Structure 1
């Protein structure tokens, strides 16, 4: 049996804490429809987000930029790209080492990566390490700013660069580099494959951590980051 609000005069008159309002609500069919839409969107996200973030868009360039925080395997593959792409220079970027700097001759990832490249056979005169200053946020942007300053001060006529980085970080790096260097310098990007099944990234903790954290970071860079 349904009761009209007039059936509760005392409730309305004495308390005044609640009131009767007719409300539309989802039926079982409506809830099933919403859940189905969410499942479909989730599947689309799972299938498309990795290739979107781990973009490969190399261009003809004089310089190959390696983000210095990447691992040794990525650096080794970057050497193959350097030789095949007929680049003039490799530029390494990177912030100060968070640990172990007192035990090494290198204080930042840019210098450490440059030393790794030389150990793997790249001539010293082909490598330019450009350390990133200490910053608490927007480290990629700070790296680009340091690179931009070096290019401005050098006598080199650099028209294009390719960024070589790890996996799902490439989309964000490409976006930041492009925003800060265009139109004077064209920017391409090369993503080294991740150390997990990139076709089913959601099946490993590394894949989930990499994709979700980089998705958030890209959205921040795309919609909230302000240029230096």
Structure 2
């Protein structure tokens, strides 16, 4: 009896031309991701709504653009949301981002009679969901009859906020989304700055996570 320890087998292997085509395809795919991921995350899909909801953690220049959107969109009410301040809480006059942003709007000349601050609970994670739940609970007890809102968010965080607010407010309230454009990096070339790279990569990971969470609970 003859015992064989090895044997010859025929296998398929990628040719040099195949490697060239595969490499070119990978480069094209990376370029498509680089140029399209920011617009995907920084989504703009506003709807007809009487209420503009502004996330309270936005920078001041984004708050100014939110006020401009309010005037342009002919809204009847602006609502600010947000959790307690993460720094300066014991020194600040306003203890949460909702009230801080509302005060900023008033300082910028906004009509305080058209403004409501809706603070969220203090949470260690899922702060966007906490703000959405606080808004849902406030609307349920307010005299306002709200069928739809536009959510004013910031840059690539917008799509994640949109997912969360839609799920929390669905099906009673329709939600549109508007993303303020960042000024601390170029959205068209976000990968060329550390701020843009950190922001976009972090939001990609957070977006994937957001797709697998039941935000209603």
Is this a same-fold pair by TM over 0.5? yes
Shift of 1:25: 4.8
Question: Does 2:70 match 1:76?
Answer: no
Match of 1:190 in 2: 178
Match of 1:61 in 2: 49
Once the two structures are superposed, residues 197-224 of structure 1 have per-residue CA deviations (whole angstroms, 9 ceiling, x without a partner) of: 21121111121112111111111112x2
- Aligned with 1:127 (options 115, 132, 144): 115
Match of 1:211 in 2: 200
Match of 2:21 in 1: 33
Aligned mates of 2:72, 2:35 — CA distance in 1? 31
In structure 2, relative to structure 1, the CA distance for the partners of 1:24 and 1:111 (3 Å cut) is same
Shift of 1:36: 2.4
2:74 alignment partner, SS class = coil
Which ranges in structure 2 are unaligned for 5 or more consecutive residues? none
Once the two structures are superposed, residues 42-83 of structure 1 have per-residue CA deviations (whole angstroms, 9 ceiling, x without a partner) of: 011011111111111111111111100010000011111111
**What is the RMSD of the two structures over their aligned residues, measured on CA atoms?**
1.9
Moved more, 107-116 or 30-39: 30-39
Aligned mates of 1:99, 1:80 — CA distance in 2? 28
Shift of 1:24: 5.1
Question: Does 2:100 match 1:99?
Answer: no
1:103 alignment partner, SS class = coil
Shift of 1:27: 4.3
Shift of 1:33: 3.4
1:32 alignment partner, SS class = helix
Count of residues in Structure 1 that have an aligned counterpart in Structure 2:
212
Aligned mates of 1:148, 1:102 — CA distance in 2? 28
Match of 2:98 in 1: 110
Shift of 1:159: 1.0
Greater gyration radius: 1
Which ranges in structure 1 are unaligned for 5 or more consecutive residues? 7-11, 13-18
In structure 2, relative to structure 1, the CA distance for the partners of 1:20 and 1:181 (3 Å cut) is farther
Aligned mates of 1:129, 1:21 — CA distance in 2? 75
2:52 alignment partner, SS class = strand
In structure 2, relative to structure 1, the CA distance for the partners of 1:21 and 1:99 (3 Å cut) is farther
